[in-house]
Amino acid sequence: MAGILGFGGYVPERVMTNDDWSKLVDTTDEWITSRTGIKERRIAAEDESTADFACHAGSRAIVDSGLTPGDIDEVIVATDTPEVYTPDTASFVQTRLGLREIPAFDLGGSGCAGFVQALDVARARVALSPKNVLVIGVEVITRLIDWEDRATAVLFGDGAGAVVIGPERAKAEVLDVVAGTDGSKAGILTLTTGGTHRPFNAETLASGEYKTLTMNGQEVFREAVRRMSQATTEVLANTGKSVDDVALVIPHQANKRIIDAVRKKLGVDDSKVYVNVHAYGNTGSASVPLALSEAVGQGAISEGDLVILTAFGAGFHWAAAALQF
Beta strand 246-251 with 306-313: parallel, antiparallel or unpaired? parallel
Choice from 5, 154, 177, 320 touching ligand COA (CB under 6 A): 154
Per-residue contact track with ligand COA, 49 to 88, x per CB under 6 A?
----------------------------------------
Per-residue contact track with ligand COA, 252 to 291, x per CB under 6 A?
--xx--------------------------x---------
Task: Please tell me the distance from the alpha carbon of residue 279 to that of residue 42, in angstroms, as a whole number.
Answer: 8
- Residues 193 to 222 in contact with ligand COA, rule: CB under 6 A: 215, 217-218, 220-221
**Which one, of 98, 101, 79, lies nearest residue 89 by Cα?**
79
Beta strand 74-79 with 104-108: parallel, antiparallel or unpaired? parallel
The least distance separating ligand COA from the CB of residue 21, rounded to whole angstroms, comes to 7
Choice from 1, 127, 151, 237 touching ligand COA (CB under 6 A): 151
Q: Cβ closer to ligand COA: 81 or 94?
A: 81
Give the angle 288-293-295 at the CA atoms, nearest 5°.
90
Catalytic amino acids?
112, 252, 282
Residues in contact with ligand COA by CB under 6 A are 27, 31-32, 35-36, 111-112, 150-151, 154-155, 189, 215, 217-218, 220-221, 254-255, 282, 313
